[in-house]
Structure 1
Amino acid sequence: MLYNFDEIIDRRNTGSLKWHYSDDTIALWVADMDFRAAQPILKTIEQVGQHGVLGYTKPTAALYESIINWHGNRYGLALDKQHILFSPGVIPSLVLMMRIFTEVGDAVLVNDPIYAPFMTKVGDNGRQLILSALKEGEGRYQLDLADIEAKIVAHKVKLFLLCNPHNPGGRVWTVDELESLLLICKKHDVAIVSDEIHQDLTLSGHEFIPFLGLAKDYEHKVVSITSMTKTFNVAGIKGSMIFAKDEALIEKISQQQRLSDEHDLNLFAYEVMRSAYEQGDEWLAQALTYIEANINLVCDFLAQHLPDIRVMRPEASYLIWLDCSAYDQDDQTLYDQLRAARVELSAGIQYGNEGQFKMRLNVACPQALLIEGLNRIHAAFNDIKS
């Protein structure tokens, strides 16, 4: 079927985190889409409700098969049922992995900039946060492998938290980059946890590589975590997966999950996940086409009207990283100026020191909303002297 991504659905006064305003502010910030979910998913939710009995549930053989087929067919990642564990979310999984691979006081390495919970959860759980700044070149981020290794050695790092595809920069790390990182971590006995929640939002011309597929002789130290929630815009239905292939590691993760009873999802999450992976590919293909058109629109608009803003074009996701440093304003002033113009972006400084003077823009919305948001951004920056 043909989906209508131009449809504007009013999300105000629904408990929406994204659209929490009491005025007509345009929300271009937190990473969820303003698109209606795929029809097979909505039909599945309706069918579950109509059944009438919402009792205890467990993952079915059909669910496991849908996950295995999706990741095998799209990415060549060979999974068996025993390699798949369930978790209420990617961030709880990150915390769980810190407990698996580190002790209180151990050093955990992440890149800068990075999705904020990568940093905050390290400190919240008594680990030592070590940052390695990404290098910027040719309009995209690159891993500073020399700095990563130096930090690992200097701080006796036990765990590296990788974001692939990267949030907020939108990089899809190449095979060469990932293999180089793997070699460094193997050399120094560092575990790697790869957050791959944006994997299915990889854009044309780029190829997503699952990290676990590269770790054939290091599987006891590598875990991937992912979810259907970003892919299919169902973040309100919590649920994610942990992929691991080493038998002893799987048992250790399972045991840790049992301690906190965090190994089950609810009935709707299981069924939505199965439905999405079985029947959601048509919706996803159309959504990505629409998102790429919106990315082009933003790049063209800013080049014409606000050329001093440097745009990091994403290789995955619907999030665009904007460098506003030419305007010589502090981060709070930039954010406040946009909010005064009744448009909200994500302030880059929350993603680390390298996010200073930057903003993250979400383009996964109907084009009419995006154009209105861009016009308000234009007005806000016109009031700032570059």
Structure 2
Amino acid sequence: MQYNFDEIIDRRDTGSVKWHYSDDTIPLWVADMDFKAALPILDSVQRVVDHGILGYTKPTDALYDAIINWHSNRYGLDLTQDNILFSPGVVPSLALMMQIFTETGDAVDAVLVNDPIYTPFMTKVKQNKRTLVMSALKEVDGKYQLDLKDIEAKIVEHKVKLYLLCNPHNPGGRVWTLSELKALLKLCKKHNVAIVSDEIHQDLTLSGHTFTPLLEVAEAEGYAHNVVSLTSMTKTFNIAGIKGSMIFAKNETLLKKISQQQHLNDEYELNLFAYTVMQSAYEKGGEWLEQVLAYIEKNIEIAIDFLAGHLPDIKVMRPEASYLIWLDCSAYGDNDQALYDKLRAAKVELNSGIKYGSEGHLKMRINVACPEALLREGLNRVYAAFSGEV
């Protein structure tokens, strides 16, 4: 079927985090899409409601098969049921991984993340009383690269035990290549540093780029005992309000340790609707995903062309995955809060880059996963804010 992504759906007064305003602000920030979920997903929810019994639920063989087939067919990742654990979300899993790979107390272990990075990578390290170590990404030819020399120096200096990788990267949109992943894994293996890879944006990889699961590389390099991948159907299919994610690992001892800690935390089950939509998404959501990616790519071009024509001093980092675009707005101010306030005064909201680390200074993250008409109006308001019309 053909989906209509131009449809504008009123999300105000629904409890939406993204659309919480009392005025006509256009939100181009929080990472969810303003598109209806795929019909097979909505139908699966309706079938549960029609059945009328919302009792205790466990994952079925059909659900496991849907997960295994999706990742095998798309990425060549070979999984069995034993390799898959369920979690309420990727962010809770980040906290869980610190319990698995690091210690606190008298000798606090260090956790390394890149800068800039999705905010919970930093906050969860601090909240769990681990030492946060940051390695700035290098911008080369308009895209981020890992600074392996700096990463190794930080690992040695701070005796880092765990590296939290974001692949594809949020907010920069990089899809790390096989060679980059091999180099990073070789370095971490050299210093016995565990790697946890957040791969929630994997299915939103854009044309011309190839996503490589880190576990696939780790297994080939004999380091799977120290590598875990985290992913979810929620970003892929715009169902973030239905919490649910997966933890993938290949080593039996590691899987047992994770499972035991999950049971201690009581964080090993999903709800009925999460299991239901996860299965329907992976079994029947491919058509919707193909169409929404085409629409997103069109919107990315619209945004890049608009900014080039109206605000050419904004440096745009073209994403290789997802619907989030990283913007360098340093030509329009020298204060992060002032830049954000300019946009809010124009009744448009973007994510302030400084929330993603010091490398986000004077940058903004814009979400283009919305109907084209909303995007164009939002971009006009960005222009009004930075051109002094507001």
TM range (shorter): over 0.9
2:346 aligns with one of 338, 341, 352 = 341
Residue of structure 2 equivalent to 1:323: 328
Residue of structure 2 equivalent to 1:19: 19
Residue of structure 2 equivalent to 1:87: 87
Residue of structure 2 equivalent to 1:290: 295
Secondary structure in structure 2 of the residue aligned to 1:229? coil
CA distance in 2 between partners of 1:340 and 1:145 (Å): 41
1:139 aligns with one of 129, 139, 142 = 142
Mapped pair 1:353 → 2:371: no
CA distance in 2 between partners of 1:373 and 1:144 (Å): 35
Mapped pair 1:213 → 2:216: yes
User: What stretches of structure 2 of length at least 5 have no aligned partner?
Assistant: none
What TM-score does the superposition give when structure 2 sets the normalisation length? 0.98
Q: Percent identity?
A: 74
Displacement of 1:328: 2.9
Displacement of 1:384: 8.5
Give a deviation string over 1:9-68, Cα, whole Å, max 9, x none. Answer: 000000000000000000000000000000000000000011011100000000000000
CA distance in 2 between partners of 1:88 and 1:155 (Å): 31
Residue of structure 1 equivalent to 2:103: 103
Tell whether the 8 Å contact from 1:24 to 1:342 is kept in structure 2 after alignment: yes
CA distance in 2 between partners of 1:134 and 1:383 (Å): 32
Displacement of 1:71: 0.2
Residue of structure 2 equivalent to 1:64: 64
What one-letter code is carried by the residue in structure 2 that aligns with 1:328? G
Displacement of 1:246: 0.2
What one-letter code is carried by the residue in structure 2 that aligns with 1:103? E
What one-letter code is carried by the residue in structure 1 that aligns with 2:172? G
User: What stretches of structure 1 of length at least 5 have no aligned partner?
Assistant: none
Tell whether the 8 Å contact from 2:165 to 2:196 is kept in structure 1 after alignment: yes
Tell whether the 8 Å contact from 2:334 to 2:362 is kept in structure 1 after alignment: yes
Residue of structure 1 equivalent to 2:198: 195
Displacement of 1:327: 1.7
2:307 aligns with one of 302, 308, 323 = 302
Residue of structure 1 equivalent to 2:249: 244
Tell whether the 8 Å contact from 1:87 to 1:239 is kept in structure 2 after alignment: yes
CA distance in 1 between partners of 2:305 and 2:254 (Å): 48
Tell whether the 8 Å contact from 1:327 to 1:384 is kept in structure 2 after alignment: no
The number of aligned residues is 385
Tell whether the 8 Å contact from 1:237 to 1:269 is kept in structure 2 after alignment: yes
Tell whether the 8 Å contact from 1:112 to 1:131 is kept in structure 2 after alignment: yes
Mapped pair 1:123 → 2:146: no
What one-letter code is carried by the residue in structure 2 that aligns with 1:66? A
Mapped pair 1:151 → 2:154: yes
CA distance in 2 between partners of 1:220 and 1:384 (Å): 57
Displacement of 1:96: 0.3
Residue of structure 1 equivalent to 2:7: 7
Give a deviation string over 1:133-153, Cα, whole Å, max 9, x none. Answer: 000011100000000000000
Residue of structure 2 equivalent to 1:164: 167
Residue of structure 2 equivalent to 1:75: 75
What one-letter code is carried by the residue in structure 1 that aligns with 2:262? Q
What TM-score does the superposition give when structure 1 sets the normalisation length? 0.99
What one-letter code is carried by the residue in structure 1 that aligns with 2:34? D
Mapped pair 1:272 → 2:272: no
Secondary structure in structure 2 of the residue aligned to 1:274? helix
Displacement of 1:344: 0.2
CA distance in 2 between partners of 1:56 and 1:358 (Å): 45
CA distance in 1 between partners of 2:34 and 2:127 (Å): 32
Displacement of 1:326: 1.2
Tell whether the 8 Å contact from 2:313 to 2:331 is kept in structure 1 after alignment: yes
Give a deviation string over 1:207-258, Cα, whole Å, max 9, x none. Answer: 0000000011111100000000000000000000000010000000000001
Tell whether the 8 Å contact from 1:30 to 1:362 is kept in structure 2 after alignment: yes
CA distance in 1 between partners of 2:377 and 2:171 (Å): 23
Mapped pair 1:30 → 2:33: no
Tell whether the 8 Å contact from 2:346 to 2:385 is kept in structure 1 after alignment: yes
Secondary structure in structure 2 of the residue aligned to 1:315? coil
Secondary structure in structure 2 of the residue aligned to 1:162? strand
Residue of structure 1 equivalent to 2:45: 45
What one-letter code is carried by the residue in structure 1 that aligns with 2:227? V
Residue of structure 2 equivalent to 1:261: 266
Tell whether the 8 Å contact from 2:86 to 2:244 is kept in structure 1 after alignment: yes
CA distance in 1 between partners of 2:150 and 2:3 (Å): 46
CA distance in 1 between partners of 2:113 and 2:26 (Å): 32
Secondary structure in structure 2 of the residue aligned to 1:110? strand
Give a deviation string over 1:291-323, Cα, whole Å, max 9, x none. Answer: 000000000000000000000010000000000
Residue of structure 2 equivalent to 1:222: 227
Displacement of 1:329: 2.7
Residue of structure 2 equivalent to 1:311: 316
Tell whether the 8 Å contact from 2:333 to 2:339 is kept in structure 1 after alignment: no
What one-letter code is carried by the residue in structure 1 that aligns with 2:48? V
Off by >4 Å, runs of 4+ in structure 1:
none
CA distance in 2 between partners of 1:214 and 1:180 (Å): 10
